[in-house]
């Protein structure tokens, strides 16, 4: 096939195809998909399956010990989910899996209506505001701790299983849509047949790796890296302005995400780790990793090669934002008047958002 382009396009192609850009960008995007996104969703797939098993074990035994195990499994499954929030584009948005997994606030009126009815709980039929992590959190936790097992009704147990099933299915689909049909285990093939998702073929990850002029969203590799950065700025802005800034402004505990479990600050820190992972191209959660530039096959490495000072500013901004959130007194829901710590966290997150925006200028 012969392709024609303008002189401007030819110049852009020259930039994207020399050793300093195209090769580096290809490695960055490949590592981002294969070493950050798919492993994060793979971890979530495994931990939500473990969560479902823990919930089922509790509903069978009804013991406080098994209820605590289910709460622990919920917290464990939250980590990879929150660490995926820098890449909520693609399948998470296309298939509505973000709201299905993490809608907030809950529709407690409808939840309680379900519980007081005889309607059969169908994981596929539950609307986004009455399913997902926070509905299960509401059923499992009270005042930051596991509820008393003896207070949980059979009806509530049935609802727990339905919600946990939906969470596990959604997590599998997120992984599958990025991973695609290639090299599936027999168990994964069976689950694909059971859930009957839209055909993933090679998966969104393969599309993300192969930007081309015919793709409306990602015509160039610079577009792909721009999307990665947009995902990072979206979550840094959301944590600072909405997750922290919203309830700080209104002083309404009910606006604090994950307030039943008192997991809020951990959620926010894992959101910042999702930015660190995306920028450094590694799943390491060590904040100290930000003290040096990422590998050559990371956005950090590319930025450092073009503008070392900017890379240093970004890595410092990620670290500062994480430490500022960590300094907010826990639990967040009980400390909405901790003005200095909260304002500092909001400022550091705003600074992070601003400096991340400069990456696209360097890449383009």
Backbone φ, ψ for residue 145 (5° rounding): -135, 165
Q: How far apart are the first and last CA of the chain?
A: 27
Domains, the chain: 38-204 (1.20.1420.20), 221-363 (1.20.1420.20)
Q: What is the band of 214 on the pLDDT scale with cuts at 50, 70, 90?
A: confident
Q: For residue 310, how many C-alpha atoms fall within 13 Å in the half-sphere facing its CB?
A: 20
Average pLDDT, the chain: 92
Q: Is the pLDDT of residue 10 over 90?
A: no
Say how far apart CA 15 and CA 21 lie, in whole Å: 6
Q: What is the pTM of this model?
A: 0.93
pLDDT tens-digit series, residues 269-296: 999 999 999 999 999 999 999 999 999 9
Residue 148 three-state SS: coil
SS3 readout for 179-202: HCCCCCCHHHHHHHHHHCCCCCCC
Q: Is the pLDDT of residue 4 over 80?
A: no
Give me 3's structure tokens.
């392709």
pLDDT tens-digit series, residues 153-166: 999 999 999 999 99
């Amino acid at each position: 096939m012969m392709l024609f382009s303008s002189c401007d396009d030819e110049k852009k192609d020259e930039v994207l195809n020399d050793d300093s850009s195209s090769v580096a960008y290809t490695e960055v995007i490949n590592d981002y998909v294969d070493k950050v996104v798919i492993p994060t969703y793979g971890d979530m797939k495994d931990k939500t399956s473990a969560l479902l098993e823990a919930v089922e074990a509790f509903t069978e035994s009804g013991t406080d010990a098994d209820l605590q195990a289910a709460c622990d499994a919920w917290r464990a499954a939250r980590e990879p989910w929150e660490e995926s929030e820098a890449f909520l584009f693609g399948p998470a948005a296309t298939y509505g899996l973000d709201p299905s997994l993490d809608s907030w606030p809950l529709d407690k009126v409808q939840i309680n209506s379900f519980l007081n009815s005889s309607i059969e709980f169908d994981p596929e039929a539950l609307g986004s505001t009455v399913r997902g992590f926070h509905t299960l959190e509401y059923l499992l936790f009270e005042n930051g701790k596991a509820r008393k097992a003896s207070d949980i009704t059979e009806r509530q147990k049935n609802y727990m299983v339905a919600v946990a099933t939906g969470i596990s299915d959604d997590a599998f689909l997120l992984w599958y849509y990025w991973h695609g049909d290639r090299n599936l285990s027999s168990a994964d093939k069976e689950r694909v047949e059971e859930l009957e998702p839209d055909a993933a073929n090679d998966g969104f990850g393969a599309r993300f790796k192969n930007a081309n002029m015919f793709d409306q969203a990602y015509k160039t590799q610079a577009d792909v890296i721009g999307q990665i950065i947009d995902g990072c700025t979206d979550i840094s802005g959301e944590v600072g302005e909405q997750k922290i800034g919203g309830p700080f402004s209104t002083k309404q505990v009910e606006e604090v995400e994950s307030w039943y479990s008192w997991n809020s600050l951990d959620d926010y820190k894992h959101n910042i780790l999702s930015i660190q992972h995306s920028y450094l191209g590694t799943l390491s959660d060590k904040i100290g990793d930000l003290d040096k530039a990422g590998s050559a096959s990371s956005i950090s490495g590319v930025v450092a090669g073009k503008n070392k000072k900017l890379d240093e500013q970004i890595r410092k901004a990620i670290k500062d934002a994480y430490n500022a959130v960590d300094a907010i007194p826990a639990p967040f829901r009980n400390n909405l008047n901790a003005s200095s710590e909260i304002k500092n966290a909001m400022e550091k997150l705003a600074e992070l958002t601003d400096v991340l925006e400069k990456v696209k200028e360097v890449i383009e």
